[in-house]
Amino acid sequence: MDPSASGSSETRHHRHVRHRNHPGIVAGAVLRSARLSADLSQEDLAAMTGVSEETVRAWEEGSSPLASVPLPEVATLEASLRANGADPNLVVDLGVAAWCDLVILAIAHREDTTCLMADSIAVDPAFAELIAWCLTGHVPERHQPYAETRPLLTDPALIEQATKTLL
């Protein structure tokens, strides 16, 4: 499914909000890929996880970061995606993507990222792939059917600072 080929209101809405830098943008993009891989609407996923459609939309936009969602809710989200046929490689990326968001947020606030980067998740190959997507627009192959090829971040100063820090 190529989201750019569709003129749906969801796709138009998603393009519009992706131009902002939200604190959960990486996990939001990964969640969207996982949801689309299961051929679920935001409404479907909301019903399965017991949250509102607006909550799913905010997660995908990154305005409500998955990193701030209680772990039991994230587990329900992941289980719902898996049970409905989402690509398991995309579902696994959710935790790594949330960590990417924490690192990017720390960089945005000019905080020390040493402790975050010392965690084992930061050496996971998926972490490097998701950070590259975030900064350069190089979409990991497993996400390509569901994502636009462009950086997730749009603020040039933040991209420059994160690139210096991470790449």
Q: Are 84 and 133 in contact (CB under 8 A)?
A: no
**DSSP, residue by residue, the chain:** --GGG---HHHHHHHHHTTS--TTHHHHHHHHHHHHHTT--HHHHHHHHTS-HHHHHHHHHTSS-GGGS-HHHHHHHHHHHHHTT--HHHHHHHHHHHHHHHHHHHHHTT---HHHHHSGGGGSHHHHHHHHHHHH----GGGGGGS-SS-S---HHHHHHHHHHH-
pLDDT averaged over 10-residue windows placed end to end, the chain, 167 residues: 39 40 93 98 96 96 94 95 97 97 96 96 97 96 95 94 91
Q: How far apart are CA 69 and CA 116, in angstroms?
A: 18
Residue 57: predicted pLDDT: 97
Quote the domain boundaries for residue 57. Answer: 3-166
Residue 167: predicted pLDDT: 78
The model's pTM: 0.87
Residue 163: predicted pLDDT: 94
- Is the Cα dihedral 65, 69, 71, 76 positive or negative? negative
Residue 20: predicted pLDDT: 56
Structure tokens that stand for 11 in this block? 């796709």
| Crossing angle for the helix pair 25-37 and 71-83, to the nearest 10 degrees | 30
Burial class, 65, CB count within 10 angstroms (exposed 0-12 / middle 13-18 / buried 19+): buried
Residue 21: predicted pLDDT: 73
- Chain-centroid distance, C-alpha 113: 20
Residue 125: predicted pLDDT: 97
The single-letter code of the amino acid at 105 is L
State how many domains the chain has. 1
Structure tokens that stand for 99 in this block? 């960590």
